């Protein structure tokens, strides 16, 4: 019977495309096919099979089926379709995110192969008397015995023996039947991601859990092997990872897989090393954007075939194909990095919970500072909360004190009490960390005569001065220009750098402590994964006295020898229009404070002009739970998430008024469809209207009923796409936005 297939294609259209399928090879959902699309040929994924075509449509024929079995199994395909519908994003683009690079193209994905050479039983080496190079090469292969020589080893040994043109010599030996070759597949665990820096790691045995960890483990296991979401709320240094390990042991005993998500590539090396030490390199693979294409392709294949039981990854790994997953873990679940901010704007934590629910398996969300959404789900009975209130290695959390900048003015960003504490720590031979979440030398270049501020010409934002190279950078669009010598408005000289960034703090510390070894950790210095790994290793090896860094240092790193943390600019999060600002500030300060005192008594000094602010006081008392309960009440009274659900329409255009006009017309459409449980605000210019040369506008909607919101937006999007005005500016919809700017 003639079949038809509905295919998801990598095009920005919210629909499937139907093709006639009359090829002799069997086809199924989740397989890749090559199909004509306009003048191009595209690789797509079969989403549905049908025995009849859509009415009134003449279908083109599919050109080829590229797989013998699905590359995306039914549960994963179902998850991707759900994500497309929930986040209002084209299905073809969503599915593309789940495929490694080779599978997006008309290429196959196979295990790496290796050629093994053996000398024939009756080598007949005497026939080579006039071919000394062939004779020499044959002797190398013969000496390897029954194991033979791989092509890599043969090449290496030939170079040492001064044998040239190995490829030609091998060809001659094969033709004379003096050598045989066998092609074998290598285990997928032999991957660049696992062997590049982990060859010397020694495996650790099971760690003995303390009483609190054992209780937490038992409470999680008591929920059974079916779907249940547990929030593991453990203070920094309480040993959440050891609890994960014990849970994973049980999964591995059942020969199932585990997916572990973490927020930042910066955590990759440390986390992967801990997992390799605990479970062995052959059991662990990582997936993140820092991997080379080849390594990432093979890591995906190792996970998809089930050869590797433990898969570590950043947010995109939530869509990794897995053979038989029995547990999902989301570490640092509060982190905003789990939310994709461009293109397909999914929230990996939410997708992970949905995937666990679909598969009917348990999921654990871990954090020292849980998101308010997760705590709300605990209060609603959807999640179970398990606590770790004590540090595993030390008796107590670090002592937090404030330096009131109203009484102790800061010189170049650092107050005298902070400098004194850093000096005392140096004398004791202990490491210190200075945290300021701002790159560069100074965030503003200012003219004291006319109050001019050096602007970015492509954004509504000031340029940041960077000391090295005497340049001004825009931290929003990336524009770079030389630092001017005169004011761009009045022409006066003597422009002043205002405020502090990591470079200015580093310079002040180098002046004050010339004998100290000081290293800066920000995206300018640690621009590559290799540079970051080397920097972190230097910290662990105690080659650095003072670390100066941004949030790059706050997430999950174990610095055993850091006993003092100084926070430079704590007040920045208290003066934001973002409704999430105090939550982000509290989490950030508690996380950075947690870097101190892992193996000895720790101290945290926070510079502020608002030392009595409730958020800062909660940090000082290590009372995130109390802060969170107060913040949830504020959110409820103000009708903000998690008590309502938001969607944000965004539009941008190089023309000043087109984006706003588009969203004003869009709002008119939406009002005709608006459900009773929803609010639709007026379209307006974005708080930073101009970004990277584009003028931006936004339209916010909220609804107390999540299902009603999704139905409303889906109908709304369908209507807008049919309207010619939709092509007047670029637009998108962000479901559950975390950034309203």
Distances (CA, A) of 31 to 8, 44, 72, 73, 109: 11, 8, 7, 9, 13
Closest CA to 516 of 524, 525, 506: 506
Domain 192-388 identical in fold to domain 399-438+500-634:
yes
- The structural architecture, per CATH, of the domain 192-388 is 3-Layer(aba) Sandwich (3.40)
**25 contacts 31 by C-beta, under 8 angstroms:** no
CATH superfamily of 3-104: PriA, 3(prime) DNA-binding domain (3.40.1440.60)
Q: Where along the chain do its domains lie? A: 3-104, 113-185, 192-388, 399-438+500-634, 645-735
Q: How many helices (H) and strands (E) does the chain have?
A: 21, 31
**303 contacts 322 by C-beta, under 8 angstroms:** yes
CATH topology of domain 399-438+500-634: Rossmann fold (3.40.50)
Peptide bond connecting 642 to the previous residue in cis, omega within 30 degrees of 0: yes
**554 contacts 588 by C-beta, under 8 angstroms:** yes
Residue 552, pLDDT score? 80
Residue 198, pLDDT score? 44
Residue 123, pLDDT score? 57
Cα separation, 237 vs 335, in Å, equals 17
- Crossing angle between the packed helical segments 166-175 and 151-160, to the nearest 10 degrees: 120
Cα separation, 726 vs 677, in Å, equals 26
Residue 458, pLDDT score? 95
pLDDT along the chain (741 residues), means of 10: 88 93 94 96 95 85 94 97 97 94 86 82 67 85 85 85 87 87 70 42 73 95 95 92 95 96 78 88 86 85 92 95 96 95 96 98 97 97 95 77 94 94 94 92 93 95 86 93 92 91 94 95 80 82 92 74 90 84 92 77 91 94 94 95 97 96 97 95 95 96 96 96 94 94 79
Enumerate residues 6+ apart whose C-beta is below 8 A from 168.
none
Whole-structure pTM value: 0.88
Residue 114, pLDDT score? 80
For 645-735, give the CATH class: alpha beta
Residue 125, pLDDT score? 60
Residue 196, pLDDT score? 40
């Amino acid at each position: 019977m003639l079949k038809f297939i509905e295919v998801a294609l990598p095009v920005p259209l919210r629909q499937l495309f139907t093709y006639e399928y009359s090829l002799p090879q069997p086809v199924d959902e989740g397989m890749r096919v090559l199909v004509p699309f306009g003048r191009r040929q595209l690789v797509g994924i079969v989403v549905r099979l049908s025995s009849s075509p859509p009415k009134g449509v003449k279908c083109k024929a599919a050109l080829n089926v590229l797989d013998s079995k699905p590359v995306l199994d039914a549960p994963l395909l179902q998850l991707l379709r759900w994500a497309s519908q929930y986040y209002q994003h084209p299905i073809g683009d969503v599915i593309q995110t789940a495929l490694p690079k080779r599978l997006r193209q008309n290429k196959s994905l196979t295990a790496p192969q290796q050629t093994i050479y053996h000398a024939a039983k009756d080598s007949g080496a005497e026939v080579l008397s006039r071919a000394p190079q062939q004779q020499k090469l044959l002797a190398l292969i013969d000496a390897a015995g029954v194991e033979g020589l791989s092509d890599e080893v043969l090449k290496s040994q030939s170079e040492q023996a001064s044998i040239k043109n190995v490829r030609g010599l091998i060809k001659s030996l094969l033709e004379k039947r003096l050598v045989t070759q066998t092609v074998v597949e290598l285990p997928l665990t032999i991957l660049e991601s696992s062997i590049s820096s982990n060859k010397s790691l020694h495996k650790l045995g099971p760690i003995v859990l303390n009483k609190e960890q054992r209780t937490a483990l038992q409470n999680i296991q008591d929920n059974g092997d079916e779907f249940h979401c547990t929030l593991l709320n453990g203070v920094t240094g309480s040993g959440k990872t050891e609890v994960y390990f014990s849970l994973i042991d049980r999964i591995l005993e059942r020969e199932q897989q585990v997916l572990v998500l973490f927020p930042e590539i910066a955590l990759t090396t440390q986390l992967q090393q801990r997992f390799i030490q605990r479970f062995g390199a052959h059991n662990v693979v990582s997936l993140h954007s820092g991997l080379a294409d080849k390594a990432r392709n093979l890591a995906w294949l190792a996970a998809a075939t089930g050869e590797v039981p433990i898969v570590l990854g950043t947010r995109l790994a939530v869509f990794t194909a897995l053979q038989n997953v029995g547990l999902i873990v989301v570490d640092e679940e509060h982190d905003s990095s789990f939310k994709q901010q461009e293109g397909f704007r999914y929230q990996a934590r939410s997708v992970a919970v949905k995937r666990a629910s679909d598969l009917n398996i348990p999921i654990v969300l871990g954090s020292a500072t849980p998101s308010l959404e997760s705590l709300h789900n605990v209060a609603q009975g959807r999640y179970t909360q398990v606590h770790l209130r004590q540090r595993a290695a030390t008796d107590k959390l670090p002592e937090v004190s404030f330096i009131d900048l109203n009484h102790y003015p800061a010189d170049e960003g650092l107050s005298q009490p902070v400098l004194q504490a850093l000096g005392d720590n140096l004398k004791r031979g202990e490491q210190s960390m200075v945290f300021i979440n701002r790159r560069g030398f100074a965030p503003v270049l200012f003219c004291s005569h006319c109050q001019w501020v050096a602007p970015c010409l492509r954004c509504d934002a000031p340029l940041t001065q960077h000391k090295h190279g005497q340049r001004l950078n825009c931290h929003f669009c990336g524009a770079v220009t030389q630092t001017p010598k005169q004011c761009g408005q009045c022409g006066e000289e003597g422009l002043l750098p205002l405020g502090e960034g990591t470079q200015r703090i580093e310079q002040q510390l180098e002046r004050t402590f010339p004998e100290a070894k000081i290293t800066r950790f920000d995206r300018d210095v640690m621009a590559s994964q290799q540079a970051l790994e080397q920097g972190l290793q230097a910290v662990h090896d105690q080659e650095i006295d003072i670390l100066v860094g941004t949030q790059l240092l706050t997430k999950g790193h174990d610095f055993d020898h850091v006993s003092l943390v100084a926070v430079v600019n704590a007040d920045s999060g208290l003066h934001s229009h973002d409704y999430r600002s105090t939550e982000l500030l509290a989490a950030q300060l508690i996380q950075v404070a947690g870097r101190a005192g892992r193996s000895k008594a720790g101290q945290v000094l926070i510079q502020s002009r608002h030392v009595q602010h409730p958020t800062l006081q909660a940090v000082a008392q290590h009372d995130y739970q109390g802060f969170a309960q107060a913040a949830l009440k504020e959110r409820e009274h103000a009708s903000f998430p998690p008590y309502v659900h938001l969607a944000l329409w965004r539009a941008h255009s190089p023309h000043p008024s087109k984006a706003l006009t588009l969203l004003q017309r869009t709002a008119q459409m939406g009002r005709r469809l608006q459900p009773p449980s929803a609010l639709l605000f007026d379209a307006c210019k974005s708080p930073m209207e101009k970004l990277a040369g584009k003028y931006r506008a936004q339209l916010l909607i909220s609804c107390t009923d999540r299902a009603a919101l999704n139905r409303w937006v889906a109908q709304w999007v369908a209507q807008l796409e049919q309207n010619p005005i939709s092509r007047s500016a670029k637009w998108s919809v962000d479901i559950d936005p975390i950034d309203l700017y």
